[in-house]
Amino acid sequence: MRGIKYVLLVAALFCCFSAAPTKSQAQVSIGIGVGPSCPYGYYGYSPYRCAPYGYYGPEWFVGGGFVGAGPYYHGGPGFYGHVNHSYDPRYGYHGGYPQHGPYQEHPDHFQSFHGSRYSDPGGHYHTEAQHGSYTHDHR
Protein backbone atom coordinates (compact mmCIF):
# COMPACT_ATOMS: atom_id res chain seq x y z
CA MET A 1 0.00 0.00 0.00
CA ARG A 2 2.83 2.27 0.88
CA GLY A 3 4.41 1.73 -2.53
CA ILE A 4 1.21 2.68 -4.34
CA LYS A 5 1.05 5.98 -2.43
CA TYR A 6 4.58 6.84 -3.56
CA VAL A 7 3.81 5.92 -7.15
CA LEU A 8 0.66 8.04 -7.11
CA LEU A 9 2.51 10.95 -5.49
CA VAL A 10 5.32 10.76 -8.05
CA ALA A 11 2.80 10.51 -10.89
CA ALA A 12 0.89 13.56 -9.58
CA LEU A 13 4.08 15.61 -9.21
CA PHE A 14 5.19 14.54 -12.68
CA CYS A 15 1.89 15.70 -14.16
CA CYS A 16 2.07 19.05 -12.37
CA PHE A 17 5.62 19.88 -13.42
CA SER A 18 5.58 18.40 -16.89
CA ALA A 19 2.61 20.34 -18.15
CA ALA A 20 3.69 23.00 -20.64
CA PRO A 21 3.41 26.49 -19.20
CA THR A 22 0.77 28.55 -20.91
CA LYS A 23 1.72 31.94 -22.22
CA SER A 24 -0.48 34.78 -21.20
CA GLN A 25 -0.89 37.52 -23.74
CA ALA A 26 -1.20 41.10 -22.70
CA GLN A 27 -2.03 44.00 -24.94
CA VAL A 28 -1.30 47.57 -24.00
CA SER A 29 -2.87 50.39 -25.93
CA ILE A 30 -2.31 54.09 -25.37
CA GLY A 31 -4.66 56.49 -27.07
CA ILE A 32 -4.30 60.22 -26.85
CA GLY A 33 -7.60 60.90 -28.55
CA VAL A 34 -8.65 64.19 -30.00
CA GLY A 35 -8.14 67.63 -28.57
CA PRO A 36 -10.83 69.86 -27.17
CA SER A 37 -13.30 71.33 -29.62
CA CYS A 38 -12.80 75.09 -29.37
CA PRO A 39 -13.84 77.86 -31.77
CA TYR A 40 -10.39 79.52 -31.90
CA GLY A 41 -8.09 76.72 -30.72
CA TYR A 42 -6.93 75.77 -27.25
CA TYR A 43 -3.77 76.33 -25.25
CA GLY A 44 -0.96 73.80 -25.83
CA TYR A 45 -0.57 73.00 -22.15
CA SER A 46 -2.73 71.45 -19.45
CA PRO A 47 -5.65 71.94 -18.79
CA TYR A 48 -6.01 72.71 -22.57
CA ARG A 49 -8.54 75.49 -22.04
CA CYS A 50 -10.14 77.14 -25.09
CA ALA A 51 -8.09 80.13 -26.20
CA PRO A 52 -9.76 83.44 -27.05
CA TYR A 53 -9.80 84.86 -30.56
CA GLY A 54 -6.50 86.64 -31.15
CA TYR A 55 -4.23 84.24 -29.30
CA TYR A 56 -3.37 82.14 -32.40
CA GLY A 57 -2.31 83.51 -35.77
CA PRO A 58 -3.74 82.34 -39.10
CA GLU A 59 -1.07 79.69 -39.74
CA TRP A 60 -2.55 77.62 -36.89
CA PHE A 61 -5.72 77.07 -38.94
CA VAL A 62 -5.65 74.94 -42.08
CA GLY A 63 -8.66 73.99 -44.17
CA GLY A 64 -11.13 75.41 -41.67
CA GLY A 65 -9.67 73.67 -38.65
CA PHE A 66 -7.14 74.14 -35.89
CA VAL A 67 -3.89 72.15 -36.34
CA GLY A 68 -3.92 71.35 -32.65
CA ALA A 69 -1.55 71.99 -29.78
CA GLY A 70 0.12 70.03 -27.02
CA PRO A 71 -0.35 66.27 -27.26
CA TYR A 72 -3.20 66.79 -29.75
CA TYR A 73 -1.05 68.57 -32.36
CA HIS A 74 -1.47 66.96 -35.79
CA GLY A 75 0.61 69.17 -38.07
CA GLY A 76 4.12 68.72 -39.45
CA PRO A 77 7.33 68.49 -37.42
CA GLY A 78 9.22 71.64 -36.49
CA PHE A 79 6.13 73.88 -36.66
CA TYR A 80 6.19 77.33 -35.07
CA GLY A 81 3.32 79.75 -35.48
CA HIS A 82 2.51 83.25 -34.34
CA VAL A 83 0.64 83.86 -31.12
CA ASN A 84 -0.27 86.92 -29.11
CA HIS A 85 0.96 86.02 -25.65
CA SER A 86 -1.02 88.85 -24.06
CA TYR A 87 -3.94 86.36 -24.32
CA ASP A 88 -2.01 83.71 -22.35
CA PRO A 89 -3.04 83.29 -18.69
CA ARG A 90 0.58 82.41 -17.85
CA TYR A 91 1.40 86.02 -18.75
CA GLY A 92 -1.45 87.74 -16.92
CA TYR A 93 -4.47 87.32 -19.21
CA HIS A 94 -7.67 87.48 -17.14
CA GLY A 95 -10.25 88.05 -19.89
CA GLY A 96 -12.99 85.77 -21.12
CA TYR A 97 -12.62 82.35 -22.70
CA PRO A 98 -14.92 80.91 -25.36
CA GLN A 99 -17.09 77.91 -24.64
CA HIS A 100 -16.25 74.56 -26.22
CA GLY A 101 -17.63 74.24 -29.72
CA PRO A 102 -16.69 73.88 -33.38
CA TYR A 103 -14.17 76.13 -35.15
CA GLN A 104 -15.54 79.54 -36.15
CA GLU A 105 -13.96 81.75 -38.77
CA HIS A 106 -13.67 85.20 -37.22
CA PRO A 107 -15.45 87.91 -39.26
CA ASP A 108 -12.27 89.95 -39.77
CA HIS A 109 -10.28 86.95 -41.07
CA PHE A 110 -7.30 87.69 -38.78
CA GLN A 111 -7.01 91.34 -39.91
CA SER A 112 -6.91 92.40 -36.25
CA PHE A 113 -4.39 89.74 -35.23
CA HIS A 114 -1.19 91.09 -33.66
CA GLY A 115 1.37 88.36 -33.13
CA SER A 116 3.89 89.00 -30.39
CA ARG A 117 5.75 85.66 -30.32
CA TYR A 118 6.30 82.42 -32.15
CA SER A 119 5.16 79.31 -30.34
CA ASP A 120 5.62 75.62 -30.89
CA PRO A 121 2.59 73.34 -30.43
CA GLY A 122 3.57 72.77 -26.78
CA GLY A 123 3.19 76.46 -25.89
CA HIS A 124 6.93 77.26 -25.78
CA TYR A 125 7.57 80.81 -26.96
CA HIS A 126 10.30 82.06 -29.27
CA THR A 127 10.98 85.58 -30.45
CA GLU A 128 10.92 86.80 -34.03
CA ALA A 129 14.69 87.23 -33.79
CA GLN A 130 14.87 83.44 -33.56
CA HIS A 131 12.57 82.87 -36.58
CA GLY A 132 12.53 86.01 -38.75
CA SER A 133 9.90 88.71 -39.08
CA TYR A 134 6.17 88.20 -39.34
CA THR A 135 5.18 88.37 -43.00
CA HIS A 136 1.78 86.65 -43.21
CA ASP A 137 -0.63 88.74 -45.31
CA HIS A 138 -3.71 87.74 -43.24
CA ARG A 139 -5.68 86.41 -46.23
Q: What is the CA radius of gyration of the chain?
A: 29
Sign of CA dihedral 62, 123, 119, 38: positive
Residues 6+ apart with CB under 8 A from 50: 36, 38, 39, 40, 41, 42, 97, 98, 99, 100
Q: Does any domain span residue 138? A: no
The boundaries of the domain holding residue 74 are 42-105+116-132
Q: Does any domain span residue 72? A: yes
> Which tens digit of pLDDT belongs to each residue from 67-77?
999 999 988 88
Residue 100 confidence (pLDDT):
93
Q: pTM of the predicted model, to two decimals? A: 0.66
Q: Does any domain span residue 5? A: no
Residue 31 confidence (pLDDT):
41
Q: Does any domain span residue 12? A: no
Q: Does any domain span residue 36? A: no
> Which tens digit of pLDDT belongs to each residue from 79-98?
889 999 999 999 999 999 99
> Which tens digit of pLDDT belongs to each residue from 120-139?
898 888 776 665 544 443 33
> Which tens digit of pLDDT belongs to each residue from 35-69?
899 999 999 999 999 999 999 999 999 888 899 99
Residue 52 confidence (pLDDT):
95
DSSP letter, residue 64? T
**Number of domain units in the chain:** 1
